[in-house]
Structure formats: C-alpha cells, structure tokens
C-alpha cells in the first residue's frame, strides 16, 4: 500500500545564475497512517520549505521546483490542478505554524475563523458552524469554549492560540498534519501540554503527523521515526530508538551532544557543533558537513557521501556511518532518559 505521504528526491531552488540557492537537494521521506515522523535540523536545513512544497503553499516564484515527486496516497501533487491542491488542503492535509499570532487573522474572532471551514467546505449554517467551532475548541481543551469562541486572537494566551490553531487545522478531519515548530514560541510547560495534545489527537484520529522541530527532547517523546536534515538533504533516517542509541552521522551526534541533560555533571561545558550551517548559495563540495565535522578526512572534501543502508530502516549519508553506528553513543541517550 502506498504511504500516506511520500516525498521523493525533491529539489527546490531560489534565485537565478550565480545567485541560485539550492534549498532542497533531493529530499526523500515518507509518513504512514497513524505515525509520527520528526524532521529535525537547524534553521535553513530545508525542513519548512519541504513542508510548504508538500502543502502547495511555497511561493513559486521566487521558488522553483526543479525535480522530484510529492505523493499523497499515491497521487502525484507536483503539477496537479491548483483547485485539486486547494481541496486537499484542510480536507486531507493540514499544517500548523510556529507563530499562531501571525497565522490567525487578528480582525476575526477565533470562532469565526474555525467556523468558516464548516460553512464553506461543509455548507453548514452560521449557527451550526459556530456550534462545531465550540466543539473543536472543547476538543483541544480550551476552557469555557462557548465564551472563548467569541474572542479575538489577541485575547488568547500563546498556548491557547496554538490550541486554537490546532482546532482550526483539524476541523475538517485531515489524514495528515504537518506541525512546523509548533511549540517554539511557548514556555516549557505549555510546550509539553501542546505536544501531549497533538500526540493524543493523532492517536484518536489515526492521523499521520510530520513534526518539524530542532528540539531533541520533543522528538524523543513522540516520534516513531526521525529524518535529520542538513543543507537541504536528509542526512540520516531511522526509528527513534535506533537513532538515539546508534547515530550514524556526526551531525546527528553533534545535535545530541549539544543538548544539556539532567544527568550531566554540574558545570560540565556544553558541546555545541562548531561553525554555522552553510549558505545555500554556496554549499561546500563533498560532504556539506565537512567544514564542521571533527571526523572529516580528505575524501570528505571531494566526495559527496551517498545515503548508506545501515540495517533495518536506518540510513545515513556519511562515508563512515558504519563505524559511528558500531561505536554507539558514549552516554545514556535522551530517548532512554525520556522513555525511562
């Protein structure tokens, strides 16, 4: 059976001539029904551009899709009729964004914005659509939903606004939800509540969830599988337990090492990844990670590493991935700590 969502060798560029930025350089991943795929990486790695291309909301131009495929239940979406794409959005796939305050329209009440979908996509009357909006706010645990449905986004706290966004995105019962850094703008306690809510709604509805994040703690709690992106490519992919225990790419290992942990010795220095992600207009030759990699050798400077099969569903784009997998991690993993 075809995966719910399949992204294959997706390539996107911005700009022209010497100014061309290769933002996606052959991104591939898939999501099955009812599972959570976490897409992990620093800013600029291509996580959000991939999601926007999947949703059909990437600005074209200035963006240019130069290759690849995006299939939803086997149906090719790239080049599909815009009306078909519009119908799929909301009904079959939905997206929530990092900053709910910018995503919600400040001049309409939260209830109006949720009810709009029931009115225009389901043909409900204003009264019935508002009743459904109240139900949706109830489902995302907004207290006193009957009253809050009449309020404007600025009257909601950050966490409540994100809940309202989730309610809006799930109103038409989509099969796939893409959550783009849904907790970044929230404090830690509210982050945990939002992630618990998303996970619960995913299980209840059997929905596929693509969770875009740079937060390894969030990923450890909810992800079934993880795709790590760097410079517009997936550089490692595995189920969550395997990736945390035996990362095959030094970048993945670097992301893990740079997170402070409860079992660290007091005062122990953090171990950040040196340097910065490359400019997408000037991606280094060879392995794009080589200027930052402590394990780089001459070969890494000239030869682009292929995605190597490491057993099971584990792949990593490093010439020495087998060696790193065999070494494993040198301390208890975040995944082990979180899952107890």
Residues of the shown chain interacting with ligand SF4 in the complex, contacts defined by CB under 6 A? 249-250, 287, 289-290, 293, 295-296, 300, 305, 318-320
In whole angstroms, the minimum distance from the beta carbon of 321 to ligand SF4 comes to 7
Tell the residue number behind the tokens 């994040």, with chain if given.
213
Residue 196's contacts (CB-CB under 8 Å, 6 or more residues apart) are none
As beta bridge partners, residue 95 has 178
Q: Shortest approach of ligand SF4 to residue 244 CB, angstroms?
A: 18
Question: Cβ(230)–Cβ(41) under 8 Å?
Answer: yes
For the chain, first and last CA: distance in Å?
A: 34
Q: Which is nearer to ligand SF4, 212 or 273 (CB)?
A: 273
Closer residue to ligand SF4 (CB): 69 or 296: 296
Cα atoms in the Cβ-side hemisphere of radius 13 Å centred on 303:
12
CA distance 5 to 28: 11
In the complex, least distance from residue 324 CB atom to ligand SF4, rounded to whole angstroms: 8
Which CB atom, from 14 or from 251, has the smaller least distance to ligand SF4? 251
Q: Which residue's CB is nearer to ligand SF4, number 114 or number 325?
A: 325
Alpha carbon separation from 212 to 180, 203, 301, 331 (Å, rounded): 5, 18, 29, 26
Q: How far is the CB of 176 from ligand SF4 (least distance, A)?
A: 31
What is the distance between the alpha carbons of residues 340 and 334, in angstroms, rounded to a whole number? 10
Q: Which two tokens stand for residue 10?
A: 């997706």
Nearer to ligand SF4, 80 or 296 (CB): 296
Which residue's entry shows tokens 């059997």? 206
Give residue for tokens 């969502």.
5
In contact, 330 and 256? CB cutoff 8 Å? no
Consecutive H or E run containing 255: helix 250-257
Query: Smaller CB distance to ligand SF4: residue 218 or 300?
Result: 300
158-170 vs 110-122: helix axis angle to the nearest 10?
0
As measured in angstroms, the least distance from the Cβ of 289 to ligand SF4 is: 5
Closer residue to ligand SF4 in complex, CB, 302/339: 302
CB of 290 to ligand SF4, least distance (A): 4
Largest CA distance in the chain: 68
Task: Output 270 or 301, the one with its CB closest to ligand SF4.
Answer: 301
Closest distance between ligand SF4 and the C-beta of residue 304, in Å?
Answer: 9
Q: What is the DSSP string of 44-92?
A: TSSHHHHHHHHHT-S-TTTEEEEEEEEEETTEE-TT--HHHHHHHHHHT
Element (H, E) at 12: strand 5-14
- Report the nearest approach of ligand SF4 to the CB of residue 275 (Å): 12
């Amino acid at each position: 059976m075809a995966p719910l969502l399949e992204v294959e060798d997706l390539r996107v560029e911005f700009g022209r001539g010497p100014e061309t930025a290769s933002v996606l350089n052959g991104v591939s991943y898939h999501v099955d029904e009812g599972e959570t795929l976490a897409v992990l990486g620093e800013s600029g790695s291509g996580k959000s551009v991939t999601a926007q291309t999947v949703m059909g909301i990437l600005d074209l131009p200035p963006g240019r899709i130069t290759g690849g495929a995006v299939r939803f239940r086997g149906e090719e979406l790239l080049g599909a009729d815009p009306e078909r794409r519009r119908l799929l959005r909301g009904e079959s796939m939905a997206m929530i964004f990092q900053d709910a305050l910018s995503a919600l329209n400040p001049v309409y009440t939260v209830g109006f914005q949720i009810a709009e979908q029931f009115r225009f996509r389901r043909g409900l009357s204003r009264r019935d659509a508002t009743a459904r909006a109240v139900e949706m706010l109830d489902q995302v645990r907004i207290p006193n939903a009957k009253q809050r449905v009449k309020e404007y986004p600025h009257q909601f706290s950050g966490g409540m606004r994100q809940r309202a966004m989730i309610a809006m995105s799930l109103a038409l019962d989509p099969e796939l939800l893409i959550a783009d850094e849904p907790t970044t703008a929230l404090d830690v306690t509210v982050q945990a509540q939002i992630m618990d809510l998303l996970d619960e709604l995913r299980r209840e509805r059997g929905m596929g969830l693509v969770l875009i994040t740079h937060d390894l703690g969030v990923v450890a709690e909810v992800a079934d599988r993880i795709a790590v992106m760097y410079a517009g490519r997936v550089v490692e992919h595995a189920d969550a337990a395997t990736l945390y225990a035996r990362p095959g790419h030094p970048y993945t290992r670097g992301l893990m090492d740079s997170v402070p942990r409860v079992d660290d010795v007091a005062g122990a220095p953090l171990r950040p990844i040196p340097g910065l992600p490359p400019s997408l207009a000037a991606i280094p030759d060879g392995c794009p990670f080589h200027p930052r990699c402590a394990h780089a050798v001459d070969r890494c400077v000239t030869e682009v590493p292929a995605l190597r099969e490491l057993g099971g569903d584990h792949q990593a784009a490093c010439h020495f991935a087998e060696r790193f997998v065999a070494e494993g991690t040198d301390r208890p993993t975040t995944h082990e700590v979180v899952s107890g």
